[in-house]
Amino acid sequence: MSDVETATENEIRDFIREIVRTDLNSGKTSSLVTRFPPEPNGYLHIGHAKSICLNFGLAQEFGGRCHLRFDDTNPEKEELEYIDAIKTDVSWLGFDWGEHLYYASDYFEQLYDWAVHLIKEGKAYICDLDAEQMREYRGTLTKPGTNSPHRDRSVEENLDLFGRMRAGEFKEGERVLRAKIDMASGNMNMRDPVMYRILHADHPRTGDAWHIYPNYDFAHGQSDAIETITHSICTLEFEDHRPLYEWFVENLPVPAEPRQFEFARLNLTYTVLSKRKLIQLVEEGHVNGWDDPRMPTISGYRRRGFPAAALRDFSRRIGVSKSNSTVEVANLEACVREDLNKTAERRMAVLKPLKVTIINYPEGQSEELEAVNNPEDEGAGKRMVPFSRELYIEQDDFMEDAPKKFFRLSQGREVRLRYAYFVTCNEVIKNDAGEVIELLCTYDPETKGGNSPDGRKVKGTLHWVSGEHAASAEVRLYNHLFTKENPGSDGDFLDDINPDSVEVLNNCLLEPSLAQIPVGKTVQFERLGYFCHDIDSSTDKLIYNRTVALRDTWAKVKAKG
């Protein structure tokens, strides 16, 4: 596992930035142009965030520009919903493509013309082999392929067939257009790769205008060239496609000569980042949609309460390299905690309430006490919190016959209620089952604000809420969606789904100001963690999601084994 490496704030150094710097200095590139090219066949995930931060980040750092281009060449799997979601996510991450929003489908006519150009040059042909035969003719890594019997068709026949493919005269799978390169090449991608296949599917943008669609390898590089992309950055799986990328650029009258560079994709522990698997989780109902807070999608993390700045910071810290590795998901959570510690306002909330009655506090009386919103940020100001005779504290903050080291409440012991008073527990009330259901306490009016008047010390400070003023809420505690570091490593990844990935608490009590926090905003519940006001919240029912706990509790669980 690789650890997060630290890079200095203003200068990031990695092999891609070295290449860009060299190209700009030597004049090979006059102005940097990058692109982020998602296929709209799913929602974006944290791996895409790495690519977005790299491509848009480079453009920002080197005074260039970055395009958002939808790689929409696969109409059967693509949907407008995904296009909209992707735009939302890229913007939310803090990047702006300005006027440079493109679609590979904008170039279908140009790509068709270039395919015709290759046919006329004798560098592409129509092949009638079916998928099975194609595989046989292709050879293997150790055995060269065999030329297709259709490889030497005349230019006229090829042009005629290609035109009829476009017109929709043939069935799917009946014919393809292939580049004529080298069936004996050591690189399988160069063994007469398919450029166009027949698909009678409706396309989200071009409707039924086309019956043939370009393959990724033919569409991608040529789209880069049309947009005068200088550095086309993709993940390592495409390394073996680079010779083909270059072959098309060399053999076509394209307006620019983009170059492809590859970097290692992001892998995260306890997480799957394959779109196919994420789609399966959504479609089979293992999660509640793409933005389920347990999903590693940008929309899931947003709903969970992760700040965009934390995702950018994470992308910066993991860096860019040439070798595949897996990053600990705890590193992502650490970035989230670090950001929220600086920015999130503090509030008090009791997740598992235990009633406390302050017997020497007058019945029917209440008062407002001043509380600091964020000790890390003076500008966040203060707020008032109501205090009264009936309070609630966390069940875990009381223990009968507590050991000396238990610095919370126990019979006969005194603690501080945050921002309020010192209180002492005098009596414990139990139900018939012997469970503690209420504590009778006294408070010291001289300790208002939680300050000791006589130098008297208390070991513990507890959070609390006032019963009559509290807002009741549902709070959802999230854990990793998978129980294994590498889900699916020894079988079906679905078998590794964590049955306890969410715990729903129904009787939580929140300080009243938490009902006013805007949906989508993340706050710290003091002593508990960071929590985000969920979109499912209504006036009848408040809902908060736990973003992260204050500390990495998972690491502790793991250590205990």
Could you say which of 20, 47, 119, 210 contacts ligand ATP (CB under 6 A)?
47
Could you say whether residue 14 binds ligand ATP (CB under 6 A)? no
Positions in 52-91 near ligand ATP (CB under 6 A): none
374 part of the interface to ligand ATP, by CB under 6 A: no
User: Which amino acid would we find at residue 176?
Assistant: V
Cα three-residue angle 67-69-74, rounded to 5 degrees: 170
Q: By CB under 6 A, is residue 48 in contact with ligand ATP?
A: yes
Q: How many residues bind ligand ATP (CB under 6 A)?
A: 14
| Residue 275 is a catalytic residue | yes
Catalytic residue among 17, 39, 408, 474: 39
Query: Is residue 187 within the footprint of ligand ATP (CB under 6 A)?
Result: no
- Supply the minimum distance, in Å, between the C-beta of residue 368 and ligand ATP: 50
Q: DSSP letter at 264?
A: P
Q: Closest CB to ligand ATP among 50 and 418?
A: 50
416 binds ligand ATP (CB under 6 A): no
Q: How far apart, in whole angstroms, are the C-alpha atoms of residue 347 and residue 526? A: 6
20-39 residues near ligand ATP, rule: CB under 6 A = 37-39
Q: Which is nearer to ligand ATP, 275 or 480 (CB)?
A: 275
Which helix (H) or strand (E) is 548 found in, with range?
strand 542-549
Question: Which residues make Cβ contacts (< 8 Å) with residue 276, sequence separation at least 6?
Answer: none
Give the nearest distance from C-beta 269 to ligand ATP in angstroms. Answer: 13
Residue 358 pairs in a beta bridge with 441
Check binding of 41 to ligand ATP (CB under 6 A). Answer: yes
**CA-CA distance, 501 to 294, in Å (whole number)?**
8
Of 41 and 147, which has the nearer Cβ to ligand ATP? 41
- Does residue number 193 form part of the binding site for ligand ATP (CB under 6 A)? no
Q: Return the range that interacts with ligand ATP (CB under 6 A); candidates 44-52, 115-123, 489-497, 530-538.
A: 44-52
Selecting among 153, 259, 275, 303, the annotated active-site residue is: 275
- The H-or-E segment that residue 109 falls in is helix 108-120
Q: How far is the CB of 118 from ligand ATP (least distance, A)?
A: 25
Can residue 418 be called a binding residue for ligand ATP (CB under 6 A)? Answer: no
Question: How many CB atoms are closer than 10 A to CB 372?
Answer: 16
Identity of the residue, 146 or 324, whose beta carbon is nearer to ligand ATP in the bound complex: 324
Helix (H), strand (E), coil (C) string for 2-51: ECCCCCCCCCCCCHHHHHHHHHHHHCCCCCCEEEECCCCCCCCEHHHHHH
Point out which span in 47-55, 249-257, 300-308, 311-319 binds ligand ATP (CB under 6 A): 47-55
Least distance to ligand ATP, CB of residue 72, Å: 10
The Cα 154–Cα 381 span in angstroms is 79
Q: Is 513 in the site for ligand ATP (CB under 6 A)?
A: no
The residues in 227-286 that bind ligand ATP, with binding defined as CB under 6 A, are 234-235, 265-266, 273, 275
Q: Give the strand order in the sheet containing 212-214.
A: 124-127, 176-179, 194-198, 212-214
Our finding on whether 50 is near ligand ATP (CB under 6 A) is: yes
Number of residues that make up the chain: 561
With binding defined as CB under 6 A, does residue 317 bind ligand ATP? no
Marked catalytic residue, from 265, 277, 383, 448: 265
Nearest CA to 523 among 355, 349, 398, 350?
349
Nearer to ligand ATP, 91 or 452 (CB): 91
Q: Nearer to ligand ATP by C-beta: 77 or 383? A: 77
Between 331 and 374, whose beta carbon lies closer to ligand ATP? 331
Tell me whether residue 51 or residue 522 sits nearer to ligand ATP (CB atom). Answer: 51
Q: How far is the CB of 234 from ligand ATP (least distance, A)?
A: 5
- The b-or-e profile of 396-413 (16+ CB within 10 A means b, else e) is ebbeeeeeeeeebbbbeb
Q: Alpha-carbon distance 65 to 226, whole Å?
A: 15
Asked if 265 is an active-site residue, the reply is yes
Q: What are phi and psi of 90, to 5 degrees?
A: -65, -45
Figure out which of the listed residues 51, 105, 388, 466 binds ligand ATP, where binding follows CB under 6 A: 51
Contact letters (x/-) for ligand ATP, 469-498, by CB under 6 A?
------------------------------
Instruction: Name the minimum Å distance from CB 38 to ligand ATP.
Output: 4
Q: Minimal distance in Å, beta carbon 278 to ligand ATP?
A: 9
Helix (H, G, I), strand (E, B) or coil at 90: helix
Q: What is the 3-state secondary structure (H, E, C) of 1-14?
A: CECCCCCCCCCCCC
Q: Is the CB of 66 or the CB of 124 nearer to ligand ATP?
A: 66
**Closer residue to ligand ATP in complex, CB, 189/251:** 189
Q: 222: exposed, middle or buried (C-beta count within 10 Å: 0-12, 13-18, 19+)?
A: buried
Q: Find the shortest distance in angstroms from Cβ 427 to ligand ATP.
A: 58
Question: Which residue from 321, 328, 262, 332 is spatially nearest to 298, judged by alpha carbons?
Answer: 332
Q: Taking the complex as a whole, how short is the minimal distance between the CB of residue 160 and ligand ATP, in angstroms?
A: 34
Strand partners, 2: 327
Residue 233 CB, nearest distance to ligand ATP (Å)? 7
Give the nearest residue (CB) to ligand ATP: 47
- Partners of 549 in the β-ladder: 529
The 3-state DSSP composition of the chain as helix, strand, coil percent (nearest 5) reads: 30, 25, 45
Helix (H, G, I), strand (E, B) or coil at 521: coil
Task: Report the residue number, 314 or 544, with the smaller CB distance to ligand ATP.
Answer: 314
Answer yes or no whether residue 316 interacts with ligand ATP by CB under 6 A.
Answer: no
DSSP of 222-237: HHHHHTT-SEEEEEGG
Closest CA to 223 of 239, 203, 245, 196: 245
Residue 503 tokens read as: 């715990």
Any catalytic annotation for residue 347?
no
Residue 26, φ and ψ in degrees, nearest 5: -80, -10
Q: Write out the catalytic residue numbers.
A: 39, 265, 275
Residues that bind ligand ATP (CB under 6 A): 37-39, 41, 47-48, 50-51, 234-235, 265-266, 273, 275
